[in-house]
Amino acid sequence: MVVGIDVHKQSHTAALLDERGALVETVTVPNSVEGAAQLHRWLCEQGGEDAVVGIENAAGYGRLLCGALTDAGHVVLNVPAWRTKRDRHAHGPGKSDAGDASAVAEVVLRRRSELGPALEPELVRALRLLEGLRRQSVYDRTQAIQRLRAIWTQVDPQAEAQLAKCATQRALRKLKRLDFGDGLAAEAATQCVRELAREIEQLNQRIASLDRQLERLLREHGNPLADLPGAGPVVAVAVLAHSGDVRRFRNAAAYARFCGAAPIPCGSGKTASRHRLDRGGNRQLNAALHRIAIVQARVDPRARDFLARKRPKARPPAKPAARSNAT
């Protein structure tokens, strides 16, 4: 027997299928510790003590349920949303939680060997949470710098243009003491710039603290990318956090498609061999791999030799056509 679970913020809906794929029963439980225990009891009552469970969005709203079912002895698999698309349409028009759960269960029944475990290792989970907070903090700092410069430009554009970096400690000390003079608008601009400078300073401290914490986790638990040129601590954390449990990928090609590094065929007929870049996939992981490639192309002899072989050789300039002597 297999179980498919459609998870939501407030509740989860589970559908139990027998070995032939026939629907046995569905149930809805709250997203809580009590709800997870209720679902396990329901499975035992239905004879599904050893049922294989498939959860969509296991790393999000289904995290609590995934851990509880794993502790209860169930095999819990992660079902990507794209795999259930065809099965959802097979249930006819309309949409329901029970139908979505049945679609997840049908994927588990047919594609179990292609699905990976839903429960991520604790280290990967911790890295993902901290890396997400760091990335958001960097984004907030960039937004604060842009707002500060926009306000400063309205009052004193010449002084603003002379300051190359606003996020350094020395620059922030000056910005916190900046005074545009008297007047209602000038006083408001002074307050805004000082407040934004303090915000940038706080974000700098948070980012530095997160960097130290992430580096400590890599030292304590091991960094599998330590010997990879171009993969510094920040990039290594991004790769580990967004790759997750690599056992869910059936091969290297599946991983390349996940991170948007696999080329997509775009030809037809005489152009059947043409490919284009993939603009989809996990863009954070794609960006981390891009940074590694850029650094290796600059400092790693093996990467430079590889690129030299792949780049087309420069063609000699074409000779100018000879002039005719005919008149």
49, 68 contact by CB (below 8 A)? no
Look at residue 68 and give its three-state secondary structure: helix
107, 4 contact by CB (below 8 A)? yes
Read off the pLDDT of each residue in 93-105 and give the average, rounded to a whole number. 80
pLDDT tens digits, one per residue of 36-68:
888 888 888 888 788 888 888 777 788 888 888
Q: Tell me the CA end-to-end span of the chain in Å, nearest whole number.
A: 92
- Residue type, position 176, single letter: K
Quick one: pLDDT band at residue 327, thresholds 50, 70, 90?
very low
Which residue in 253, 240, 7 sits closest to 123, CA to CA? 240
Confidence (pLDDT) at 191: 95
- Taking only Cα atoms into account, the Rg of the chain, rounded to an integer number of angstroms, comes to 28
CA distance 241 to 235: 10
And the tokens for 193?
């710039």
Quick one: pLDDT band at residue 295, thresholds 50, 70, 90?
very high
Cα angle 306-292-262, degrees, rounded to a multiple of 5 = 70
For the chain, give the percent of residues with pLDDT over 90.
Answer: 31
Task: Provide, for the chain, the percentages of residues in helix, strand and coil under a 3-state DSSP scheme, each rounded to the nearest 5.
Answer: 55, 10, 30
Stated length of the chain: 327
pLDDT tens digits, one per residue of 163-211:
898 899 999 999 999 999 889 999 999 999 999 999 999 999 999 999 9
And the tokens for 26?
């569905």
- Residue type, position 194, single letter: R
Q: How is the chain split into domains, by residue range?
A: 2-117, 122-221, 233-310
CA distance 130 to 110: 36
CATH class of 2-117: alpha beta
Q: In the block, which residue shows the tokens 């004879």?
A: 47
Across the strands, what pairs with 157?
A: none
159, 179 contact by CB (below 8 A)? no
Across the strands, what pairs with 165?
A: none
Quick one: pLDDT band at residue 90, thresholds 50, 70, 90?
low
Structure letter (DSSP) for residue 136: H
Any alpha helices (H) in the chain, and if so which ranges?
33-45, 63-71, 85-90, 97-111, 122-155, 157-162, 169-176, 184-221, 233-243, 252-258, 283-299, 301-310
Name which of 70-84, 123-137, 146-160, 202-216 the model is least confident about: 70-84
Which residue in 155, 153, 145, 147 sits closest to 181, CA to CA? 155
